[in-house]
Amino acid sequence: MNPGDGAQKPIRLIAAACNNLGIGKDGRLPWNLPSEFQFFLDTITAVSEPGKKNLLVWGRLNWFSCPEGVLPLDNTLNVILSKKLRAVPKFAHYLCEDFDSMVHLTLQPTLSDLIETIWIIGGTEVYREALKHPWCDLIYLTDIMADFDCDVFFPSFDQNIYKKQSSFPGIPDEVQEENGIKYQFQVFKKEC
Catalytic residue among 13, 21, 33, 36: 36
CA distance 179 to 120: 27
Neighbour count for residue 148 (Cβ, 10 Å):
17
Answer yes or no: pTM beyond 0.85: yes
- Coil/strand/helix, residue 137: strand
In the predicted model, what is the mean pLDDT of residues 112-126? Answer: 97
- pLDDT of 173 over the 60 cut: yes
Tens of pLDDT, residue by residue over 134-143, are 999 999 999 9
In sign, the C-alpha dihedral spanning 34, 23, 177, 38 is: negative
Catalytic residue among 29, 71, 73, 107: 29
- pLDDT of 67 over the 50 cut: yes
Active site residue 29: yes
Active site residue 36: yes
- pLDDT bin (cut points 50, 70, 90) of residue 5 is very low
**Closest among 44, 51, 45, 48 to 113, alpha carbons compared:** 51
Residue 7 has what pLDDT? 77
In the predicted model, what is the mean pLDDT of residues 95-101? Answer: 97
Q: When comparing pLDDT for 108 and 1, which is higher?
A: 108
CA distance 103 to 135: 10
Domains, the chain: 13-190 (3.40.430.10)
